[in-house]
Amino acid sequence: MAGQHQKAREYQFTDPKGQSDRHYREFSSESEKVSPTPPEIMSMLVQSLPQPVMVSDHDGTIIHCNTALLEIWQGSRESLIGHKESFIYTSINHYQQIREQFDQGNAIDSVEIQIRLSDRRTTWVCLSMRSLPLIPEPVVLTIFSDTNSHIRRPNQNQLDNEASYQAAVAKFGQIALTSPDLDSLMGKLITQVKETLKINRCMVLELLPNHQAFLLRSGIGWRPGLVGSAQITASPNSQAGYTLQQGEAVIVEDLRVETRFPGTPLLHNHKIVSGLSVIIPGPKGANSKPWGVLSVHTRRVHQFTLNDVHFLEAIAHILATAIERQRADERLKLMERAINSSRNGIIITDATESDNRVIFANSGFEKITGYSRHQVIGRNCRFLQGRDSDPKALAELRSAIEEGRECNIELKKYRPDGSSFWNELSISPVYNNQGFLTNFIGIQTDISDRKQAEANLLSKSEALAQFSSKLKQLHRITTRLYPSLEARFEDYLQTGCELLQMSTGLIGKISAGVYSLEFVYPHSDLFTIGQTANIADTFCAKPYHTQETVTQTQAGLDPEWSQVQAYQTLTLESYIGTPIWVGDRIYGVLSFVHQPQRTVPFKSEDREIIELMAQGLGDFLAAQEIEQRQREAEQALRESEERYRMLVELSPDTIAIYCDDQIVYINRAGVELLGAKQPEDIIGRSIYDFVDYDQTTVILNQELTGEAKQQSATLFEQQLIRLDAAIIDVEIAGIPTNYHGRDAIQIIIRDISDRKQAQAQLLHAAFYDPLTELPNRSLFNQKLSEALRRSKEDSNYQFAVLFLDLDRFKVVNDSLGHVIGDFLLIEIAHRLEICVTSPGDTIARLGGDEFTILMDHISDPKQALELAEKIHRELSQPFYIEGHEIFTTASIGIVPSRGCTFKKGAETDNYHCLLYNNPEDFLRDADIAMYHAKERGKARSEVFDLSMHTQTLALLQLETDLRKAIFGSAQLNVALNHISSSESNPLASAISDVSVIPSQLPSLNDFIIHYQPIVCLITGRIVGFEALVRWRHPRRGLVSPAEFIPVAEETGLIVPLGAWVLEESCRQLSSWKQQLKNWERSPQSVSSHLTISVNLSGKQLNQLNLIQQIDAILARTNCDPKSLKLEITESMLVENFQTALIVLAQLKARKIHLAIDDFGTGYSSLSYLHQLPLKSLKIDQSFVQRLEEEPSNYIDQYSQPQQIIKAIISLAHNLGLEVTAEGIETRQQMQFLHNLGCDYGQGYLFSKPLPAEEATQLMLNSAIAYSSEKSRFFYG
């Protein structure tokens, strides 16, 4: 440790008696003789010792210390008690070695070791250890003393180290003097330090300007890339930062157990164990900071000595001296660069010599004078002077040099090439520390430009004086009042000729490319006032087109000017001209000409003079034009006022002037509007005699301001009382105005009685039905919205909506005409008004035959049902209209408001409560309930419940899925949007009534066709199949035809679906016939008589292109028309009998077999049966399934179903029709039908509907049976 640290701590270890060893020996010998001492005696004994003493138990835990140790520790006793002994030692390894020797029984006397103090400082001490036997276990006494009391003579090894350190320091000094730069010096120094101390790692850390971190400036033994880039914190948490804080060398014996600071990642990553760091001092000064830290490190435990510390501190001081020297060199170089970079010429002379020779000259001096510094050094600067140099300035310079003072003079000097320049010279004396004059510094500034500017300024001042005199003349002619325009022009041109030294002045006007001479001075034969010329033939073309002043002194020498006709005719050599601006346009050109060439060129002031003259002329001409326009405007104003007066008087609107609280003027229309005979009946009266006070006050209180004139008048609608007491609707507006110099209001009144009446009619038409005078949909929705709002605000408020639709109203319109239908609607509206008596209820007609009723503020929801029943009773009475007795009924849907409940059935206790946010949803559910009433037989009422909505959504979803299955998702929108216009889309043509035959039908992958055989009841063989479509839903699986066929019929989707079924069935029939022909065992009659039956819907029958479509399908599938049977229902025929008759006739002409399907379930009208070209009919399965019923009495041979079937078969045979019975499930049914002469049968007895493959196999089996004459197996 450093000597200063030892001296700082000597007072703490002073032994006044000088007997430290004797105390140790006496204490040791006495302790071996005495018996175990209690802790109190031990404490008194330790406290009485003059040396610092620490007591610890067998585990090394400190349990006591005396006051002398606390003085060294400089902390409280509590900060030591309880810690391990190793807590106060800087080197844990060193301590552990000492403790191991003590535990082995070896005596520990005066061993040097470094300890840390409470403020993190360190010091060196000598320690001795003794064992003190106590009960129940012994303790260890550690006694400390000053290292000075144990100074030992250094051994030879230490002396050699000191010698090598001294040699290394001397060598380092030489290196510091010869190194070219700081980085090279650092590299050499750390290499020598490594070799001298025999360590592996050394670093130089530079403290950065922010004093928060160190830069690893140089080093050896560290990983590549760290030197020059790595930074280490300057806080006390690092060894370098801690060294900086302490201001002295810091030794780390073992970084792994170091407690003063945790260390940096750099040291830990390199597995550093021991280290020594010293401060590199900064420049001398009161506030100087250290430059950095020099440190050495090892990866093994290393004991650094005081000699190591002194050696490293010496190296740090050498490095600091080199850094300061380099900084001084840099400052000198900076000063030299700064002087050379100055634009001023700087020289330094030697004042100790009589001639003041130049010893330094910068580059600025070379640039100013033109001499190089080699030409100047050693000479006096007087060689720059010339004969015309100012003698006074030279005398002042010599006097200042002799007196050793400052001096500032201006001199004219000369360069080597003889050119002159002006120089401002400033000299200053330089004195040394003893006060003797040693040098002069001269600073020279080139002021040639300033001198030239001063000369130019003087010349311009003279010219300005002349120009000022000319301006006075211009001021005279511009401010003078002239009797005429000609006099002004003459004075202007005369003055211009004098000022510009030209012979002739011209003023010309230019219009549409033509130059017209307005005035000339002096008058001559060359120019005539009023003469004109093309502007291109004059000199004025250039100033006119360039819009700026143009000058010429030698026109004949300029090809552009010499070609102008004016030059060729008049030979005018000199010219100056400028445009005359009147406002934002060029009026003409002011010109001055001179025949001889002008010897003196035109100056800038000449241009300014002519431009000022042109400006004066332009201002005067502009003022004249303004005066002319004002006179014209006044005349126009007088004419306008006269026209306005006539317009006001003849205006259809009332126009009056209100001033001083009375009407002072009113036009004819106002007299008529107010019911007067003449204006005098109105003038003098107050406006409040006719209109309301409050609204009219707003009009009359307007002020006459600029903003009021610009703003549009506000219209007020109010009622006006005429003199005859009649009240009319009017619009009134007021405009602030002046009337004979007083503020007034111009009042405009318009009669809007007709418009108000029209608005009322439009408003009534917007909210009321014109036929029935009932509220329409818009007004009903408003009232329903209000009811919904009230129901949300008031939980006790209830209401209900009834939706009525007349049953079979279309029959009335189609049979009796729309006029009778309208009369019927009016009468129904009257009866509804009779039924609805509550004043808050609303009856509305939504359109067509739809009516709605809003029952407002009902106390019981059952009131809606009671009202519905009342309406049914009222409508059941006949209507007598135009001699017709008409009966009609209505289907009614009822929807309660929020909070209303209806019991859904006597057998259930389920209730429902509906929530609505808008009237559209309310009417939607009422409409749904109404349609449910129609479906259940009409002339009834239905209360909406959620199941209806669910059913409607299910039907909608079914329709959507069906459309997707037929059209496909991608084509669905296209098909729907172009349903009636697309000629290229076969899907659209399959639905719409167009005559285009599609080239191919859609591929319906989600549909399959099952085939049910039709069997001859006589032979038992299969004679054909009926095609039955099945839908394989992607989520629901197979959907029953009874569920989706009605939806397809209603939406028209049956058209493409039926066309696809027809084509697939014909294709399958052709395939079967081909198989039978190829089968050798098949008789020819089997294949020729095989038929396919396909249902034809009413929608298909109404297609205009049905015949062409069937022809195309038969052609594509190569199907024989005679093998195709089309089945049609009775109801479909009755709905459009005439159309069906025509289409069926065309089908029969093509040999297509036609049949009536489900005979007996429809109208079964014999009146049309014999008119249709039918081939067969099919008995509905509902009759067949009841064949086994017993007769109602013993007299009858047949039951009622049997009688019906017998009659149908007999009727068909009499008409020449074949009969097919559907739904045969038992042999008894088959036998009975056979006995009655039924031709064919179809049902599960023979086979259920089968896929094409299974139907094919069944057909082949039937052919085999037929060929083997097994046809009678059906009847045993």
The strand pairing partners of 430, in sequence order, are 439
**Alpha-carbon distance 1111 to 943, whole Å?**
50
Is the CB of residue 625 less than 8 Å from the CB of residue 631?
A: no
Q: Is 464 left (phi over 0), alpha (psi -120 to 50) or beta?
A: alpha
Position 342 confidence tier, pLDDT thresholds 50, 70, 90: confident
Q: What is the pLDDT of residue 463?
A: 67
**Alpha-carbon distance 307 to 155, whole Å?**
13
- Same domain membership, residue 1141 and residue 1026: yes
Neighbours of 648 (CB within 10 A): 19
The answer, yes or no, to whether residue 560 has pLDDT greater than 80, is yes
Is the CB of residue 879 less than 8 Å from the CB of residue 824?
A: yes
Cβ-proximal residues to 819 (8 Å cutoff; 6+ apart), any chain: none
Summarised one tens digit per residue, pLDDT across range 602-613 is 888 888 888 888
164 in a structural domain: no
Instruction: Determine the average pLDDT of the residues in 535-539.
Output: 90
Summarised one tens digit per residue, pLDDT across range 5-26 is 333 333 333 343 333 343 334 3
End-to-end CA distance of the chain: 134
**Tokens standing for 314?**
């010496």
Q: What is the pLDDT of residue 1213?
A: 93
Which SS3 state, helix, strand or coil, does residue 548 take? coil
Taking alpha carbons only, the member of 179, 122, 134, 119 closest to residue 39 is: 134
Give the lowest-confidence range in 135-144, 244-253, 929-938, 1254-1263: 135-144
Is the CB of residue 1023 less than 8 Å from the CB of residue 1091?
A: yes
- Same domain membership, residue 619 and residue 483: yes
Cβ-proximal residues to 172 (8 Å cutoff; 6+ apart), any chain: 189, 192, 314, 315, 318
Q: What is the pLDDT of residue 1023?
A: 93
Instruction: Determine the average pLDDT of the residues in 964-970.
Output: 72
372 in a structural domain: yes
Cβ-proximal residues to 785 (8 Å cutoff; 6+ apart), any chain: 918, 919
Is the CB of residue 1055 less than 8 Å from the CB of residue 1101?
A: no
Neighbours of 776 (CB within 10 A): 18
- Same domain membership, residue 360 and residue 330: no
Total number of domains in the chain = 7
Summarised one tens digit per residue, pLDDT across range 586-642 is 999 999 999 888 888 888 888 888 888 888 888 888 888 888 888 888 888 888 878
Q: What is the pLDDT of residue 984?
A: 35
Position 881 confidence tier, pLDDT thresholds 50, 70, 90: very high
The strand pairing partners of 590, in sequence order, are 507, 578
Instruction: Determine the average pLDDT of the residues in 435-441.
Output: 88
Instruction: Determine the average pLDDT of the residues in 966-989.
Output: 46
Could you say which DSSP state residue 15 is in?
A: -
- SS3 string, 603-669, reads CHHHHHHHHHHHHHHHHHHHHHHHHHHHHHHHHHHHHHHHHHHHHHHHCCCEEEEEECCEEEEECHH
319 in a structural domain: yes
Neighbours of 948 (CB within 10 A): 17
Could you say which DSSP state residue 455 is in?
A: H
- Same domain membership, residue 487 and residue 442: no
Q: Read off φ and ψ for residue 461, nearest 5 degrees.
A: -65, -40
231 in a structural domain: yes
**Tokens standing for 185?**
């010096």
Q: What is the pLDDT of residue 148?
A: 55
Summarised one tens digit per residue, pLDDT across range 325-336 is 888 788 877 887
Q: What is the pLDDT of residue 6?
A: 35
Could you say which DSSP state residue 860 is in?
A: -
**Alpha-carbon distance 9 to 148, whole Å?**
10
- Residue 1204's domain is classified under what CATH number? 3.20.20.450
- Same domain membership, residue 351 and residue 327: no
**Tokens standing for 462?**
């003279």
Summarised one tens digit per residue, pLDDT across range 157-173 is 655 666 667 667 766 76
The answer, yes or no, to whether residue 578 has pLDDT greater than 90, is yes
- Same domain membership, residue 1067 and residue 1148: yes
Q: What is the pLDDT of residue 974?
A: 45
- Residue 356's domain is classified under what CATH number? 3.30.450.20
- Same domain membership, residue 1086 and residue 1036: yes
861 in a structural domain: yes
Could you say which DSSP state residue 235 is in?
A: S
Containing structural domain, residue 1056 = 960-1274
The answer, yes or no, to whether residue 665 has pLDDT greater than 60, is yes
- Same domain membership, residue 476 and residue 433: no
Most confident of 443-457, 883-897, 968-982: 883-897
**Alpha-carbon distance 671 to 476, whole Å?**
65
Q: Higher model confidence: residue 109 or residue 1249?
A: 1249
Give the lowest-confidence range in 56-70, 855-869, 1151-1165: 1151-1165
Q: Read off φ and ψ for residue 1124, nearest 5 degrees.
A: -105, 130
The answer, yes or no, to whether residue 153 has pLDDT greater than 60, is no
Summarised one tens digit per residue, pLDDT across range 709-731 is 555 567 888 889 898 888 988 98
Position 151 confidence tier, pLDDT thresholds 50, 70, 90: very low
Taking alpha carbons only, the member of 1023, 1065, 1045, 1080 closest to residue 1158 is: 1045
**Alpha-carbon distance 325 to 331, whole Å?**
10
Q: What is the pLDDT of residue 363?
A: 85
Position 285 confidence tier, pLDDT thresholds 50, 70, 90: low
**Tokens standing for 476?**
């005279």
Q: What is the pLDDT of residue 1082?
A: 54
Could you say which DSSP state residue 1191 is in?
A: P
The dihedral over CA atoms of 444, 449, 451, 457, expressed in degrees to the nearest 10, equals -160
Position 361 confidence tier, pLDDT thresholds 50, 70, 90: confident
Summarised one tens digit per residue, pLDDT across range 253-267 is 898 888 899 888 889
Which SS3 state, helix, strand or coil, does residue 132 take? strand
The answer, yes or no, to whether residue 775 has pLDDT greater than 60, is yes
CA Rg value for the chain? 65
260 in a structural domain: yes
162 in a structural domain: no
Summarised one tens digit per residue, pLDDT across range 814-849 is 888 999 999 999 999 999 999 999 888 999 999 999
301 in a structural domain: yes
Summarised one tens digit per residue, pLDDT across range 1123-1140 is 999 998 876 776 677 788
- Same domain membership, residue 674 and residue 611: no
Q: At what angle do helices 946-967 and 1041-1051 cross, to 10 degrees?
A: 80
- Same domain membership, residue 811 and residue 738: no
**Alpha-carbon distance 528 to 613, whole Å?**
22
The helix (run of H) or strand (run of E) holding residue 1257 is helix 1252-1267
Q: What is the pLDDT of residue 105?
A: 82
- Same domain membership, residue 369 and residue 240: no
Taking alpha carbons only, the member of 743, 771, 932, 962 closest to residue 851 is: 771
Exposure string for 899-928, b = 16+ CB within 10 A, e = fewer: bbebeeeeeeeeeeebebeebeebbbbbbb
Q: What is the pLDDT of residue 1078?
A: 80
Helix residue ranges, H only, 433-484: 448-479
**Alpha-carbon distance 578 to 534, whole Å?**
18
**Which residue type does 937 have?**
G
**Alpha-carbon distance 604 to 1027, whole Å?**
112
- Residue 475's domain is classified under what CATH number? 3.30.450.40
Taking alpha carbons only, the member of 855, 862, 810 closest to residue 832 is: 855
- Same domain membership, residue 716 and residue 797: no
Sole residue written with tokens 């130059």: 515
Summarised one tens digit per residue, pLDDT across range 203-226 is 999 999 888 999 999 999 999 999
Is the CB of residue 778 less than 8 Å from the CB of residue 767?
A: yes
**Tokens standing for 621?**
């001409």
**Alpha-carbon distance 1212 to 1177, whole Å?**
7
